[in-house]
Each structure stands twice: as C-alpha cells, then as structure tokens.
Homo-oligomer: A and B are copies of this chain.
C-alpha cells in the first residue's frame, strides 16, 4: 500500500463517546487511503477498525497474544505477535503517524514510543503529560476530523 500507515491507539475499554470518535477516525482514514494500524482488540481499536472497514479501508492488527482469533472482526490483516504488551512498541514503529483517543497506561506507553521515534501524534481526549525537560508535547484535537486532517497534513 502506498497510503500512509496511521495508528489509532486507545484503550480496550472505552466510553461511548471515545468509540464514536474512533469510529469516525477510522472512516476518515479509510477515505484518505491510509492503512489503519492498531493493537487489534476491543474498545477504541475495534471502533476505529469498524469505521475503516465500512469505508473499504485496510486495517492491520498487531495482537498481543499468539492467537489470530483474539483479533476484532474488522481486521484485514492480523499479526498475532505473542509478545504481550511489547507489541505496543511495534504499533508505534509500524505507524507513520498516530492518533490517540482516550486510553489507559498501555496507550501512554505507545505515546512515549511514538514520540521517541519522532512520529507525528495528536491526541483526542487522551493523556496530558509534562516532562522534566519541558519537552515540546503533542497537539490535541476536539474532533475526529481535526485529528485526521492534522496527521495527514504532517505525512504530506
């Protein structure tokens, strides 16, 4: 695929509003021809895949466990890594850009990885962080549209 790879990261347990945003993000990414990368499970991951799938987009799920069957039903391609939470680093590495929607501690690890790797990242109702060296942080967006638009612009 020539489209950019964009990760949608967030928790496996999400609020209805987070899932609504994630689903819309998935739709917009698919319409833009992006490959949607995620951890492949429930909550924000599932909702974004459902949105992308509805619009004919390609979805890639990097699962923590060794079993393909644990992936959500909207994945085009699954990689059952069997690496547990270490797969969070693979999600960040595989993505050209990242959109964080809500999220728990695992999402925070993905944010750290993605920023460490220099990936453009934008957050919608996700973690707020402040580093000891006052590192420049990532921008935030209020809507799926603004988040997708910003990421795609960064990726040229």
Binding site for B on A (CB under 8 A): 1, 5, 18, 35, 58, 60, 62, 66, 68, 76-86, 88-90, 93-94, 96, 102-113, 115-117, 125-133, 135
Please give, as numbers and ranges, the residues of chain B lying within 8 Å of A130 by CB-CB distance: 127-129
Q: How far is the CA of A115 from the CA of B112 in the complex (A)?
A: 13
Q: Which residues of B contact A113 (CB under 8 A)?
A: 85, 88, 105-106, 109
- What CA separation (Å) do A126 and B88 show in the bound complex? 22
Chain B residues within an 8 Å CB radius of A115:
105, 108
Q: Please, which residues of chain B bring their CB within 8 A of the CB of A104?
A: 116, 131, 133, 135
Closest B residue by C-beta to A59? B77
The contact sample of 9 A-B pairs, CB cut-off 8 A, is: A60-B79, A77-B77, A80-B93, A83-B86, A88-B109, A88-B112, A106-B116, A109-B110, A109-B113
**Could you tell me the distance between the alpha carbons of A35 and B68 in the complex, rounded to whole angstroms?**
13
